[in-house]
Amino acid sequence: MRNSSVAGLTALALTGGSLLSLAAPAQAADATVLYVRQMSTDCSDTGAGTLAQPYCSIAPAVARVTAGQTVDIGQGTYPERVTVANSGTPDQPITILASGVATLSGATAGFTVDGQHDIVVQNMRVNKVVDVPALDLRNASGITVRGGTYAMADVSTAPVVRLTAVTGSTLTQLTASGKAPVAGITMDAATSGVAVRAVNVLSWPNYNLVNDSVGVRVDGHGNTVLNNNISGFTGAAITLEAAAVEAVVANNQVNGGAGGGIHNRGATGTAITNNSVNNRCLDGIRVDGASTGVSVQNNILTSNGLFGQTYCDPAAEPGAEIGVYGDAGKDTVVDYNNTYHHASPSGTAYSWNGTLMGLDAFRAASRQAAHDRDTASSTDRCDSANSAAPGYQTTDRSGFPRADVPSVANTGAGPVTYADRGAVEDIGNPTATFDTSLDLGVGSVTVDASASNAGFFPITSYLFDFGDGTVVTQDKPVASHRYAAPGDYTVSVKVSATEGLSASAAQSVSVLRRTGTVGLLSLANLRYVAGENVRQGLLASQPALGAAGQFDLADAGNGQIALFSRAARRYVTGDGTLIPTSITVTATERFALLPNADGTVSLRATASSRYVSAPSATSPLVADATAIGTAQKFYRVAPTDADRSFKAGANGRYVTADNAGASPLIANRTTVGPWERFDLVDLGNGQIGVFAHANNRFVCADNGGVNPLIANRLSAGAWEKFTLVRNTDGTVSLKATVNSRYVTADSGGAKPLIANRTAIGPWEKFTLGG
């Protein structure tokens, strides 16, 4: 579900357009546009108002503008109060818009429209106003104020926005605020047919600032307060006075403040529907006076009353979530609401004529609230509203249509039984989730967004942004891309569903240049390091080099490497336990690869400057050592040099570490099994070790080469080092380092292998098998 605390922000973007969406500016030669550019060196208040010679101030342009024309105000701070003296027509209104950040600033700054009609004011800013409204509309009709901010100074004696005898007009997508305004928006008894829609009305919530300040006060008939976000004020957030006949207050988010939430003060025929009210110090919704025909339905009210909030007056009487008082109780309809009264959900959520009571008692006293729910569960609000309630809207405060939650039974009433209670509909937003796989060999990334959740509506497209200017949009959740150069990139995926819903996610990836691929054979236990689980550390536990033990060495710069697990498709982190968990390379994923004199290598973690240790086959590798010992040494084996066989040219038989390695090597096998498999270990300086699978021991030219070769050594010293000679006929020969003699399958293979030949002949040639 979407968080109602941010719904006010999304509403501004989803109920009629962005605050920044402006009419397309006309060219300078277009006589229907008058330009104001305070910062232009060519501006003149007596000029033509073209782009070449714009006005310096707003007032001269507004004085000249007529029906169908636009005043385009550019960036700047204008210490003016602008009064619009001309009118437009319904088909050709006068438009006053800010195409840049244009601010009217000062104690008396702002806009006044008095006696005019068909005017649009768009995206203007007004601030630091003290004794007059920032926006003052009087005796006007057909006025649209869209976007912008209207703000009072810390100490002010006037409402932020005042409507006097205004009809058929709209305030939308603007912000009216002040630290201590008398009111946010006021509409007098002669104001009718006005819609206040998708507006932020904000005030500092302290109870001791301005007594009885009101967020939105409605005195006239037939007005609508819809989809707004209202916070603060010491009186009610929304007040409906006695003359506010047939007002609709719906889909509003009312947040914390020292006063009440929505107060119907004797108005008749009003609809208070699908509002969310929380953390007010007094009643969340209060209906009193001579009110008749009032409907309070589909609202969610939480923690209203006195609960020790710092902005509440400690001397105030505790309030309720819903209160009905006096004559208003005769025919006020209360139903399909959700209440939760903080820590005591069953005791004092309602007030009937000033007596606090729980839901059951309220039902008995009022004969109302048959479908109200006293619950903190968000599920209980879903698919349970009355869509036939007066003031019910077919969309929520963000403009989304009603949506059926598949997992929740439809218990609502009216034509749409799956509408939700409160200001925000659970529309089942999609969620974007993706997994990233890297291939350092070709410098590519594969992004798999199959795990993205479609919500209630199917995903129709996936937009992949690979961070290098390449953007791919398709209906399939998997896409790959090859980068032209190594580097760090931000990869993002946007999933889009029907009904205009979308969600995005992003990850940073490091695509580094691969310098090689190795297996790491621990000297401590002669087991290969492996790790394919991103939640499990690397273990020196495998007797053979398999897929889980293959690591790409990547150039991490400054002579450092990153270790990339090909199985996990992740870089290995070295801050403590080594785990293949990262797709980015930072200091935590960097190592120094240090060669040792015995042909092994060691890894030093950059993050901690500690050496990597392989404690045992059951304990993960960890960067914890301050010096290099046996546990910190590893042999390197290229995957292409693992699991090889030697077929002797002398007799066409395979070399075996006979008797599980207890007997000398001899070429007498017709097939390849475990005893006939060897790994060629890189010992540096062009030398190799031959590591037998039969017993996980190194092959030795025993006794300095005097005795036959045997696989019985736990490490590779001088007697265990060989040079692999590649012959022109595709065969290979082994030259023992200890005596510079070639290994031969002596007596045509009848005798064990021994390093005693000074030249290469048929008996000294072998074919390497995979």
Q: Convert the pLDDT of each residue in 535-550 to its tens digit.
A: 779 999 999 999 999 9
Cα distances from 342 to residues 237, 314, 356, 375, in angstroms, run 20, 17, 14, 10
| DSSP structure class, residue 429 | -
Name the token pair of 376.
């903190």
Range 207-220 average pLDDT: 83
Q: Is the dihedral of CA 378, 384, 389, 395 positive or negative?
A: positive
Identity (one letter) of the amino acid at 550?
Q
Instruction: Spell out the domain ranges in the chain.
Output: 435-510, 513-637, 643-769
Name the token pair of 585.
């390379």
- Please report the pLDDT score of residue 123 as a whole number: 96
| DSSP structure class, residue 354 | T
* pLDDT tens-digit series, residues 419-438: 999 999 988 888 999 999 99
Name the token pair of 595.
């060669």
Q: Is the dihedral of CA 509, 514, 517, 519 positive or negative?
A: negative
Name the token pair of 388.
């036939």
Is 643-769 the same fold as 435-510? no
Distance in angstroms (rounded) separating the CA atoms of residues 171 and 147: 8
CB 288 within 8 A of CB 312: no
Query: What are the DSSP E strand ranges found in 179-329?
Result: 183-187, 195-197, 200-203, 214-218, 224-226, 229-231, 238-240, 248-250, 253-254, 262-265, 271-273, 276-278, 285-288, 295-297, 300-302, 322-324
CB 310 within 8 A of CB 285: no
- Confidence label for 205 from pLDDT (cuts 50, 70 and 90): low
pLDDT over 60 at 12, yes or no:
no
Least confident of 104-108, 340-344, 528-532, 685-689: 340-344
* pLDDT tens-digit series, residues 347-359: 789 999 999 999 9
CB 696 within 8 A of CB 657: no
Distance in angstroms (rounded) separating the CA atoms of residues 244 and 707: 110
How confident is the prediction for the chain on average, in pLDDT? 92
CB 312 within 8 A of CB 258: yes
- Please report the pLDDT score of residue 73 as a whole number: 97
pLDDT over 80 at 1, yes or no:
no
Radius of gyration (C-alpha) of the chain in whole angstroms: 40
For the beta carbon of residue 165, count every other beta carbon within 10 angstroms.
18
- Please report the pLDDT score of residue 427 as a whole number: 82
- Please report the pLDDT score of residue 16 as a whole number: 35
Query: What are the DSSP E strand ranges found in 402-458?
Result: 435-439, 444-448
Identity (one letter) of the amino acid at 725?
V
Distance in angstroms (rounded) separating the CA atoms of residues 173 and 13: 8
The DSSP line for 27-89 is: PTT-TTEEEE-TT-TT--TTS--SSSS-BSSHHHHHHH--TT-EEEE-SEEE--EEEE-----
- Please report the pLDDT score of residue 14 as a whole number: 31
Range 595-609 average pLDDT: 97
- Please report the pLDDT score of residue 343 as a whole number: 56
* pLDDT tens-digit series, residues 441-484: 999 999 999 999 888 878 999 999 999 999 999 999 999 999 99
- Please report the pLDDT score of residue 378 as a whole number: 78
Q: What share of the chain in percent tops pLDDT 70?
A: 94
- Confidence label for 346 from pLDDT (cuts 50, 70 and 90): low
Name the token pair of 483.
């980068």
- Confidence label for 405 from pLDDT (cuts 50, 70 and 90): confident
Q: Can you count the helices (H) and strands (E) in the chain? A: 3, 67
- Confidence label for 386 from pLDDT (cuts 50, 70 and 90): very high
Distance in angstroms (rounded) separating the CA atoms of residues 226 and 215: 13
pLDDT over 70 at 9, yes or no:
no
- Please report the pLDDT score of residue 456 as a whole number: 80
Q: Is 308 exposed, middle or buried (0-12, 13-18, 19+ CB in 10 A)?
A: exposed
* pLDDT tens-digit series, residues 133-167: 999 999 999 999 999 999 998 777 899 999 999 99
Distance in angstroms (rounded) separating the CA atoms of residues 745 and 16: 87
* pLDDT tens-digit series, residues 247-284: 999 999 999 998 999 999 999 999 999 999 999 999 99
pLDDT over 80 at 587, yes or no:
yes
CB 607 within 8 A of CB 582: no
Q: Which CATH class is domain 513-637?
A: mainly beta
Range 553-563 average pLDDT: 96
- Please report the pLDDT score of residue 520 as a whole number: 98
Distance in angstroms (rounded) separating the CA atoms of residues 301 and 316: 19
Cα distances from 236 to residues 8, 230, 280, 757, in angstroms, run 19, 10, 9, 103
- Please report the pLDDT score of residue 28 as a whole number: 37
Range 738-758 average pLDDT: 97
Distance in angstroms (rounded) separating the CA atoms of residues 276 and 284: 9
Name the token pair of 716.
């590779």
- Please report the pLDDT score of residue 167 as a whole number: 98
Q: Which CATH class is domain 435-510?
A: mainly beta
> 241 versus 10: which is more confidently predicted?
241
CB 549 within 8 A of CB 530: yes
Q: Is 675 helix (H, G, I), strand (E, B) or coil?
A: helix
Which residues, including other chains, have CB under 8 Å from residue 162's CB and lie 6 or more apart? 133, 135, 136, 137, 138, 185, 186
What topology does CATH give the domain 643-769? Trefoil (Acidic Fibroblast Growth Factor, subunit A) (2.80.10)
